[in-house]
Structure 1
């Protein structure tokens, strides 16, 4: 996978090549210094972007416990889809706290004319492999039989937000009244292959090929009474590779770069 700053370095080297070709009278020390300055400036620009933390606020219908999430991007972060929700200790779905907007609405920046063919305007896109564990937990089926949100079964605006470019803080809350409840997060990036989850692993499964490495699920059990307590979410499994079921697969030994989308996911009870 190409990291976010590599294109900038490549571009910097290209400009250095131009300098060398057009300024042949420059001595080698000057050229090396110019290359160093340009590359450092490019890296600094990327680091500045990654240091920016967006603040997102969602407003569930009822809040009994305030929650604040901190998502720290990892080296494989590249505009992932995210869902955050609450369950009781028996695994029963209670409510959704946040879903990235494109998936939450079923409408993406480039609509799909047919499988693999796109148009240069927004439109409906069906991606059941994106966040299937959350989709099945939510248990709202669209007219086409899929649990992924469609424009008709979209997540309410107050629970969605644009896909964060890097790290972000989510301020929200839950209606859960139990002494303990579970917080779950599902994360996925499209076309995220590795040596195990290859493009030709399931050659006839189009939905699989939109995801490759399946969505990764994180969880933690919290007490609403622990005001000020910081909890860290850890991976507990991955979703079905093409979203056909709501199963959770606890063996994540084949998941590699998908585990590096976020280096840390934490939540504080406020």
Structure 2
């Protein structure tokens, strides 16, 4: 598949405010594309997760990132390794392929070694990044260009050190990347039709990522996941 490199320069304001129990986040509002409003309801397992939202066509070809949490988008995390599999408060530069592997690989079709993972020298533009919300939140975003026809909106979410009876610390003890994640990232998706838009869409889980980021495949068996499926209890999308 031929890779197309596109440079987009936009002026953006990304802000978060708290209104009652729902945070409001805006991103890429200076763009001239389609306006989307997403509403996230935090589950009992919600605890500073990392996530990315993006758009692709029905053939699975990546179109653009809509939003990604700041730590993943910059490669600078609030905790850093302290030796002997321990962590201490950062900030610290980190290479974490287990964070959001499906999105990492989707955004780089050639999948060059490490080229798909943002770092402080090659961050995701501020247009598309923001802090992790602490509670329920609304995310108002715009695509760079107007969407047409049918497309898919996807989300990948992961929470650090999220163990359960199947994804234990002892499952891949030799892999330090796995130990930063344990239960793998969960992928949600919905297909929207810009020609015949519905009043509301709901993103539903369709699979999970590789547990330590070794590939960009979609693993559809969700039976081993527990709290990873309760980070969000509902994700709604509306075309403005």
TM-score, normalisation: structure 2:
0.85
**Aligned partner of residue 248 in structure 1, secondary structure:** coil
Measured on the aligned residues, the alpha-carbon RMSD in Å equals 2.5
The answer to which structure has the higher strand fraction is 2
Structure 2 partner of 1:71: 40
Decide whether aligned partners of structure 1 residues 66 and 160 sit closer, same or farther in structure 2, where only a CA change above 3 A counts.
same
- Long gaps (5+) in structure 2: 1-17
Counterpart of 1:207 in structure 2 is 177
Structure 1 length as normaliser, TM-score? 0.76
SS of alignment partner, residue 117 of structure 2: coil
Q: Which has the higher contact order (CA 8 A, sep 6+)?
A: 2
C-alpha separation in 2, matches of 1:79 and 1:187: 10
Deviation, 1:121, is 4.0
Is the aligned partner of 1:267 residue 2:225?
Answer: no
CA 1:80–1:141 in structure 2 vs 1: closer, same or farther (change >3 Å)? farther
Q: Does 1:244 align with 2:208?
A: no
Instruction: Flag the structure with higher helix content.
Output: 1
Question: Which digits, 9 at most, give the CA deviation of each residue in 1:55-102, with x for residues without a partner?
Answer: 111107744311000000011111110100000000000000000001
Q: Hey, what does 1:86 align to over in structure 2? A: 55
CA distance, structure 2, for counterparts of residue 122 and residue 107 of structure 1: 6
Q: Which SS does the other structure have where 2:194 is aligned?
A: coil
Deviations 1:142-191 (A, max 9, x none): 99736321112211011100010011100012225331100000000011
Larger deviation, residues 121-130 vs 58-67: 58-67
Which residue of 91, 104, 129 maps to 1:135?
A: 104
Find the counterpart in structure 2 of residue 55 from structure 1: 24
Deviation string 1:197-217 (CA, Å, 9 cap, x unpaired) is 111011101101110000000
Distance 1:79 1:53, change over 3 A: same
Q: Gapped runs of 5+ residues in structure 1?
A: 1-48
Go from structure 1 to structure 2 and tell me whether the alpha carbon gap of 1:120 and 1:208 turns closer, same or farther (over 3 Å shift). closer
For residue 185 of structure 1, the aligned residue among 155, 160, 164 is 155
